[in-house]
Structure 1
């Protein structure tokens, strides 16, 4: 996993730090998106309101 390897990154410049932070943010957004997608799949077909809320 990328997030598990971030603490082991060797950074030599401010730019490296910023790139590492951006990578962490991208990973977090991706994980949240996956969690929402999985939650939508777990919903019953009759709960369309909640499904729409998760889509938005």
Structure 2
């Protein structure tokens, strides 16, 4: 799919088998901002929370 195809978020979600278009909106926002689309769940900051 190409961003210039003019498909709605709902159409894209349906085509990809995603139940909610909210996820598609998030992906598009990240793509447009040049952000990574990699899965960041469970990733911790490099800072040790116990250091003072």
TM range (shorter): 0.3 to 0.5
TM-score normalised to the size of structure 1?
Answer: 0.30
TM-score normalised to the size of structure 2?
Answer: 0.32
Q: Which has the larger share of helix? A: 1
User: Relative contact order (alpha carbons < 8 A, sep ≥ 6): 1 or 2 greater?
Assistant: 1
Larger Rg: 1
